[in-house]
Amino acid sequence: MAEATQTGTGAGGGLELAEIGKDLAITALLGAAIFGSTIAFKTETATGGLSLVLRFEEAFFVIAAVVIGRLILLLTVWRRPGGTDRTFVPQALQTRYTEFLAKTGKAFVPIVLLFAVVFPFLPFTDRYLLDLGILILTYVMLGWGLNIVVGLAGLLDLGYVAFYAVGAYSYALLAQYFGLSFWICLPLAGILAAFWGIILGFPVLRLRGDYLAIVTLAFGEIIRIVLLNWYEFTGGPDGLSGIPRPSFFGIPFKRGEGGFADFFGLDYSSIHRIIFLYFLILVLALITNFVTIRLRRLPIGRAWEALREDEIACRSLGLNTVSIKLTAFATGAMFAGFAGSFFATRQGFISPESFTFIESALILAIVVLGGMGSQIGVVIASVAMIGGFEIFREAEQYRMLIFGLAMVMIMIWRPRGLISTREPSIFLKEKKSVSADMVAQGEGH
C-alpha cells in the first residue's frame, strides 16, 4: 500500500502540482464569491437605520481556511494514483473501506452476536436501551424476512407490512376469541401470514419489477384498510387491547406466588419480562437468519437467486417459476407473521396505525441499505436506521431530512448497499467472494 502511494507521487508529481494549483484557485474564487458577500459585509442596526460594517479581514481568513483545508484534503484523502478514473468518491477511501471490512469481517459476526446475547446484562443497559434493542431486533427480523423476497428472489415487495399486520392480528384475535396462548398462536400466525403470502403471490405471478411493486403496495393498503373498517371483527381504528403477555413457557411474569421471579427464587422486577422479550425476539430473529442461510444452500434458495438474476433463463432450465415465487412470498410472509405476533404480545395493544406504508418503506430501506441479500448488512442497517432515529429524536422534524441525506450519501458511496458482496453458496475447492464492484451496475435485468 505504502509502496503504491510512493510510486504514484513520483510518476505524476509535476502534473499534479499544476492541477492542485488550478483546483485551489477555483476554490479561492468560489470561496470569495460565497464568503465575500456573506461575511465581508455586515449590516448593523444603528441610530437612524442600518449601517454597513466591512469585515474583509475575517472573510479573508475564512477563505484561506477553506483553501488550506482543501489543500490538505487534496494531499491526503483525495489523492489517487495517476491514471485511475475520477470517481465522485475518493479512491483511497474506497479501498481503505474494503480493506477494513475484509479484516474485521471475519470477527465481526461473532462479536455482534456475543454483544447481542450479553447486552441485557451489561451495567449501562437500562429499560430504555433494552426497549430500543427489542425494537432494533424486530426490524432485523423483518429485514431478514423481507430479504428472502427482495434480496434473494428479487421480487420488489412494497407491502411487506401487510404480513406483519396479519401476524399481529392473528395472535391478538386468536387470543381474544379462543383464549389460545402465545406459544400456540406463534406458529399459527406464521402459517396464516404465509397463506396470505400465497394469496398475494397468485395474482402477481406474471408481474415483475415496478408493476409488482405497485400491486404489493396496493395489497399492503388493502389489508390496512380492511383492518380499519371491519369494526365488529378487528375493532377498527380503536385497535385491539388487552392482548395477553407471553409467559415463560407457561410461567407468567407476575408478582407473588407462581410468578417467574417466585419460581426461580428471584426478587420480582418488571425488567424480567422485558429481558425475556428481548431474548424471545433475538431467538426468533436468529431462527429467521439460520433458516435463510440454510435455504440459500438448498436448491430452492439457489432457485430464488437464479430467479432474481434471470427469470427466462430459469424457465429454460426447467424450473417452475410459479412455485419458486410462491415459496419465496410464503417464506418471507411467514417470518413477518412471527414478528407480527411478537409485536402484538410486546405492545399489548395493536391498531392499524402501526401498519402503515411507512413501515414497509422502512423495512425495505433497511434491506436495500444493508445490501440486498446480505444478512449482516440488514443488522448494520437496522442499527443505523432505528438507532439513528433515536439519536436524532432531539432534532424532531429535521430527523427525516437527516436520514434522507444519509441515505443519499450511502447510495452514492455504496450503490449496492453497505455489504454488497455475495457469498457463493457452493464451492468446489476454497471460498472466494467477488466484490460487486467488479460487476457492472444494472447487470442481470
Partner 1 sequence: MSSPPLLQIRDVETFYGKIQALRGITLDVHEGEIVTLIGANGAGKSTLMMTICGDPRARSGQIVYDGRDITRLPTHEIMRLRISQSPEGRRIFPRMTVNENLLMGAAVADPEHFEEDAARAFELFPRLKDRKDQRGGTLSGGEQQMLAIARALMARPKLLLLDEPSLGLAPLVVKQIFEVIKELNEKQGLTVFLVEQNAYHALKLAHQGHVIVNGKITMSGTGAELLAREEVRAAYLEGGAH
What is each CA distance from 379 to 31, 370, 389, in whole angstroms? 41, 7, 15
Q: Which of 315, 348, 395, 408 binds partner 1 (CB under 8 A)?
A: 315
Enter the C-alpha cell of residue 29.
474564487
Work out whether 299 is an interface residue with partner 1 (CB under 8 A): yes
Work out whether 306 is an interface residue with partner 1 (CB under 8 A): yes
Output DSSP code: residue 248: B
Q: Which of 131, 262, 310, 390 binds partner 1 (CB under 8 A)?
A: 310
**What is the smallest separation between the CB atom of 291 and partner 1, expressed in angstroms?**
20
Pairing outcome for strands 349-350 and 41-46: unpaired
Q: Which of 65, 68, 75, 313 binds partner 1 (CB under 8 A)?
A: 313
Q: HSE (CB half, 13 Å, CA atoms) of 237?
A: 0
Among 339, 32, 288, which residue's Cα sits nearest to residue 148? Answer: 288
Rounded CA gap, 305 and 151, in Å?
8
Which CB, 47 or 441, lies closer to partner 1?
A: 441
**What is the smallest separation between the CB atom of 158 and partner 1, expressed in angstroms?**
23
Binders of partner 1 among 203-232, rule CB under 8 A? Answer: none
Enter the C-alpha cell of residue 239.
385497535
Among 240, 326, 279, 281, which residue's Cα sits nearest to residue 142? Answer: 281
Work out whether 432 is an interface residue with partner 1 (CB under 8 A): yes
Among 310, 301, 306, which residue's Cα sits nearest to residue 328? Answer: 301
Q: Which of 4, 316, 393, 396 binds partner 1 (CB under 8 A)?
A: 316
Please, what's the largest Cα pairwise distance for the chain?
A: 88
Q: What does residue 49 show for φ and ψ, rounded to 5 degrees? A: 125, -155
Work out whether 4 is an interface residue with partner 1 (CB under 8 A): no
Work out whether 134 is an interface residue with partner 1 (CB under 8 A): no
Work out whether 298 is an interface residue with partner 1 (CB under 8 A): no
**What is the smallest separation between the CB atom of 178 and partner 1, expressed in angstroms?**
41
**What is the smallest separation between the CB atom of 296 and partner 1, expressed in angstroms?**
11
Binders of partner 1 among 394-423, rule CB under 8 A? Answer: 422
Work out whether 438 is an interface residue with partner 1 (CB under 8 A): yes
Work out whether 444 is an interface residue with partner 1 (CB under 8 A): yes
Rounded CA gap, 199 and 312, in Å?
24
Rounded CA gap, 171 and 165, in Å?
10
Rounded CA gap, 141 and 291, in Å?
12
**What is the smallest separation between the CB atom of 207 and partner 1, expressed in angstroms?**
16
Cell 471490512 found at: 101
Which CB, 396 or 443, lies closer to partner 1?
A: 443
Work out whether 368 is an interface residue with partner 1 (CB under 8 A): no
**What is the smallest separation between the CB atom of 378 and partner 1, expressed in angstroms?**
18
| Sequence-ordered list of residues with C-beta below 8 angstroms from that of 276, at least 6 positions apart, any chain | 246, 248, 253, 260
Among 360, 374, 361, 355, which residue's Cα sits nearest to residue 417? Answer: 374
Work out whether 441 is an interface residue with partner 1 (CB under 8 A): no
Which CB, 133 or 371, lies closer to partner 1?
A: 371
Work out whether 314 is an interface residue with partner 1 (CB under 8 A): yes
Which CB, 259 or 301, lies closer to partner 1?
A: 301
Which CB, 345 or 375, lies closer to partner 1?
A: 375
HEC readout, 90-124:
CHHHHHHHHHHHHHHHHHHHHHHHHHHHHHHHCCC
Q: Which stretch binds partner 1 (CB under 8 A): 56-64, 90-98, 257-265, 430-438?
A: 430-438
Work out whether 317 is an interface residue with partner 1 (CB under 8 A): yes
Q: Site residues (CB under 8 A) for partner 1?
A: 299, 302-303, 305-306, 308-310, 312-321, 422, 424-430, 432, 434, 436, 438-440, 443-444
